[in-house]
Structure 1
Amino acid sequence: MALTLIKNATLVTMDPEIGDLEGGDVLVDGQRIAHVGRNVSAPAASLVDGRDRIVIPGLVNAHIHAWEYQLRGIGADWVGFRDYFANIHNNLATRYAARDVYLGDLLGALNQIRGGTTTILDWCHVLRDAEMTDAAIDALEESGLRAVFARGTTKPPTREGGTPYQKIPFPREEIRRLRTGRLASDDRLVTLAMAILGPDWGEYEVAAHDIRLAREYGLLNSAHTYGRKGKRVVEDGMPRLAKEGLLGPDHNIAHGNCFSEDELKIVLDAGCSITATCLTEMLNYEQAAMLGRILQFGAVPSLGTDCDPYFNSSMLWVTRHAFQHQREMDNRSLREAGKWPADQHATHTRDALYWATMGGAKALRLDSKIGSLTPGKQADLAVIDTRGMNIFPALPGGDPAHAVVMYAETADIESVMVAGRFLKRNGKLVFPAERLKKLNAELLESRQRLMKDGGYVYRRAPNGAPPERYVF
């Protein structure tokens, strides 16, 4: 197998037994990390100069709708679910064909690689049939990214005489087809999960059916669950699922911002993971991202970017915002308790980087394979050049985790490796440039056709009235 040796880098391993290493080396043998240390010798290896570079585990985006990539630049001023549902689920999503899904997923995945992300959970809820499903999988496989493909279902408007989506259980035949076919193995780059309605969006019997189906086929299942009182299809759905033994480490909750303390304890005691998508949530959610509250129960947050119509799905941005958001919440909570300022801050930049690496790996049940620079794990990593003006001169003499979280941008991601294979090298994607150019042109045509077919024309929203009183 091919050997690659990254020499003399600053390593932020996220492995507590190894820690950070200045002047450290990473030896990659085939798909795996063979050795992490100093003064590593491997005469047969291809050498990568790590001087003035930081090497981190690849970022893990635990919640993204990659198919929305061609719908960028239209949603920042939408008002919550009213406008998202009206414009996406009730309109533009219904116009997608298999090729549109392929284009969105492929270019969305390549954009993740550009920014140092090596693994995503692709929450794909635009799919109406097997052709669209296969197109999404084709795209993810072509990108080279590690992906947990969460096969979802649509939320279209109900036609006269039709069945509302809240009453429709997950299509068993589609999961059987995938799990006994191309996604039968969990030892491949693209693996299968289920993106289900859950009790916030579906009836209880549907939620229970879907979780049982996922367990029958040994799959992670994930649901959008917010916990808003009076705005859920099944108000007591999560406690009921827990009582029936249907919640566990195989259930991932996206968001969870409005959970009461009792309900949060129920889902975390059951072993569920929770993924915060801080940038999306702060646009329209009424409660803070689920970060510090999870930590108080001894659990670990994971992070995701969520929706491209709102902003660039950069895990660097999300990680930075998660740190700043939780630090703000710490300070406000201390002030309310009369204990501000803190003697020492509870939340550090290194914590946020952990959420974006090991936190995501744990949520996706991949922490034995990815999330840290640990010998034996898959060689998923990002090499960050510190010589550019975004970062310089943060090192030497500074905290490399701080440099990554607070200074690094996509332009500083020099190289990205997934399973021992470089997908970005010397600042450029390895993906063929001419093919990318053609795909970009085709994606632009897809965007324009989707908007034309849906009669969608972007119009600036008027400014609403500010709150009468700000909470502070």
Structure 2
Amino acid sequence: MSEPTDDRPVVLRGGTVLTVDATHQVLAGHDVLVTGDRIAAIGVGLSVPEGTVEIDAAGGIVMPGMIDTHRHLWQTAMRGYGADWTLTQYFVWYYLEWGKIFRPQDVYAGNLLGAIEAIDAGVTTTVDWSHGLQTTEHADAAVDALQAVPGRFVLAYGNIQDAPANWTGTPEFRDFARRRFESLDSWDMLGFQLAFDVTGEPTFPERPAFEVARDLGVPVTTHAGVWGATGDDSIRVMYDNGFMTPDTVYVHSASLSADSYHRIAATGGSVSVSTESEQSAGQGYPPTWALRRHGIPVSLSMDTSVWWSGDLFSAMRATLGADRSREHMAAHVDGNTVTHSALRAEQVVDWATRGGAAALGREADLGSIEVGKKADIVLIRNEHSPVSFPLLHPHGHVAFQAQRGDVDTVLVNGRIVKRDHRLVGVDLAAARSAVEDTVAHLRSTLGEEAWQQGMNPDIPETKVLDNPYTYTTYQSTSTHSA
């Protein structure tokens, strides 16, 4: 792919700037100057160096690039296929039946399309929760795709086809980590995590994987509080063995008890909420109300395009709706009326930006519009849309009115990767060709009957264990009894 842009300074002129700093300032009619990879100045009528690229932001919103802390990019090639799935059907299709037929080139195709989709929607940093890496050849393909797209990514390495203790303990995995990550410059544009789930089995079979993460100095991200799969026993065994840390990201956390939330809060971890997923798939009710009650930091994520949208505008909208809906329902049960919303639009905008930066340990240089920070910036402006005006409540406009089609300009690390609603330096035709090849492979391997049945499922005949992770038969009492 071609380079996204040259290295000239860039100034966005006259926009409404949502700083999303600690005070959530809104600066009307301000300019933002970018030099190199940093925000150099914020002000009105800024003087800029000769040759600066001028971008008209008048009437638009300038905000930090959004950060998605949990997205299964490898599944993007199957966009919309599982629209009517439950979580059980997802487990059956990927974990038990067909996930193993994905080739390295299929992981590449999904990652490539998903990564392009992210920057197109103003998501400048994405955690690729890549649990389809059956071999290091699959992992190399995943990284190759991420590095082919001008965005900021984190590879969260996982393998749902094997026990975490097994795949993290192989020489091939160690070699991959050394080859692909030891030489990177502080993991600025491409970070590294380990992605695996904890069954809650008292023998703690995941301990060796945690020890590998500790040895490599990388965070762990784990699906926690997923009904029928990972529950309070999972949190308890992590806590008792000393593996709950401030850099641990707990995804969903939607079916946990107060005891588990206390443990997450006490150890400084954060939760990635995927509201569209939790509402539809069945992990539990989106837990933002409980997380706020326990003071647990929140970031947002969209999970997978097999079901849902690939942008964070819909995530913000769904999160506000779910939190407020629960608040109203709880009040109605007691015969009361909610007269003031507890969760505000500016808070979910914060979760979609600065919250993600904090979850990744990057709050010092990402997630807000402040002088000296990395220039990951999004301009929301659509002169051809009647929804673009009037702009009265900027945070509310982002959360409830804006959509991916309103993303006019995106800068990542100071470089323009989208301008005038068109991607820069991206070969979309190549991504289409790769994805079409993957779909053809999947469809021919399954056969037409299985392909159609998978997309329009009945209750699966396959035996689904209480715990879908086939490397153990343990059944947790905190999810379902044996």
- Tell me the TM-score normalised to structure 1 length: 0.89
Over 3 Å counting, the alpha-carbon distance change for 1:286 and 1:417 in structure 2 is closer
Separation in 2, partners of 1:155, 1:212 = 20
Q: Does 1:244 align with 2:241?
A: yes
Report the alpha carbon displacement of residue 23 of structure 1 after superposing the two structures with TM.
0.5
Q: Does 1:292 align with 2:289?
A: yes
Give runs of aligned pairs for residues 108-123 of structure 1, distance below 5 A.
Answer: 108-123=114-129
Separation in 2, partners of 1:68, 1:390 = 34
Separation in 2, partners of 1:18, 1:301 = 16
Residue 159 of structure 1 aligns with which residue?
Answer: none
Residue 470 of structure 2 aligns with which residue?
Answer: none
CA contact (8 A) 1:54 1:384 kept: yes
Give runs of aligned pairs for residues 254-403 of structure 1, distance below 5 A.
Answer: 254-285=251-282, 287-342=284-339, 344-389=340-385, 391-395=387-391, 398-403=392-397
Over 3 Å counting, the alpha-carbon distance change for 1:461 and 1:238 in structure 2 is closer
Residue 14 of structure 2 aligns with which residue?
Answer: 8
Percentage identity across aligned positions? 26
Report the alpha carbon displacement of residue 168 of structure 1 after superposing the two structures with TM.
3.6
Separation in 1, partners of 2:386, 2:223 = 35
**Selected match of 2:452 from 450, 458, 464:** 458
Q: Does 1:71 align with 2:78?
A: yes
Residue 192 of structure 2 aligns with which residue?
Answer: 192
CA contact (8 A) 2:252 2:283 kept: no
| Structure 1 unaligned regions, length at least 5 | 157-164, 464-472
Residue 181 of structure 1 aligns with which residue?
Answer: 179
Report the alpha carbon displacement of residue 100 of structure 1 after superposing the two structures with TM.
1.0
Q: Secondary structure at the match of 1:182?
A: helix
Separation in 1, partners of 2:164, 2:174 = 22
- Tell me the TM-score normalised to structure 2 length: 0.87
Over 3 Å counting, the alpha-carbon distance change for 1:203 and 1:385 in structure 2 is farther
Report the alpha carbon displacement of residue 370 of structure 1 after superposing the two structures with TM.
0.8
CA contact (8 A) 1:166 1:203 kept: no
Over 3 Å counting, the alpha-carbon distance change for 1:55 and 1:43 in structure 2 is same
Residue 419 of structure 2 aligns with which residue?
Answer: 425
Over 3 Å counting, the alpha-carbon distance change for 1:367 and 1:394 in structure 2 is same
Separation in 1, partners of 2:371, 2:319 = 29
Report the alpha carbon displacement of residue 178 of structure 1 after superposing the two structures with TM.
4.0
Please list the CA deviations of residues 16-70 of structure 1 after superposition, one character each: whole Å capped at 9, or x if unmatched: 3571100011111111111222222113222111111111111111110000011
Q: Over aligned residues, Cα RMSD in angstroms?
A: 2.2
Separation in 2, partners of 1:111, 1:142 = 13
The count of aligned residue pairs is 446
CA contact (8 A) 1:316 1:409 kept: yes
Q: Secondary structure at the match of 2:388?
A: coil
**Selected match of 1:147 from 133, 141, 153:** 153
Over 3 Å counting, the alpha-carbon distance change for 1:299 and 1:38 in structure 2 is farther
Report the alpha carbon displacement of residue 461 of structure 1 after superposing the two structures with TM.
4.5
Please list the CA deviations of residues 362-417 of structure 1 after superposition, one character each: whole Å capped at 9, or x if unmatched: 1121111211111111111111114343523231xx11111111111111100111
CA contact (8 A) 1:54 1:386 kept: no
CA contact (8 A) 1:203 1:234 kept: no
Separation in 2, partners of 1:56, 1:204 = 47
CA contact (8 A) 1:199 1:238 kept: no
Report the alpha carbon displacement of residue 167 of structure 1 after superposing the two structures with TM.
6.7
Over 3 Å counting, the alpha-carbon distance change for 1:88 and 1:126 in structure 2 is same
Over 3 Å counting, the alpha-carbon distance change for 1:298 and 1:411 in structure 2 is same
Residue 223 of structure 1 aligns with which residue?
Answer: 222
Report the alpha carbon displacement of residue 422 of structure 1 after superposing the two structures with TM.
1.1
Q: Does 1:132 align with 2:131?
A: no
CA contact (8 A) 2:232 2:260 kept: no
Paired AA for residue 437 in structure 2: E
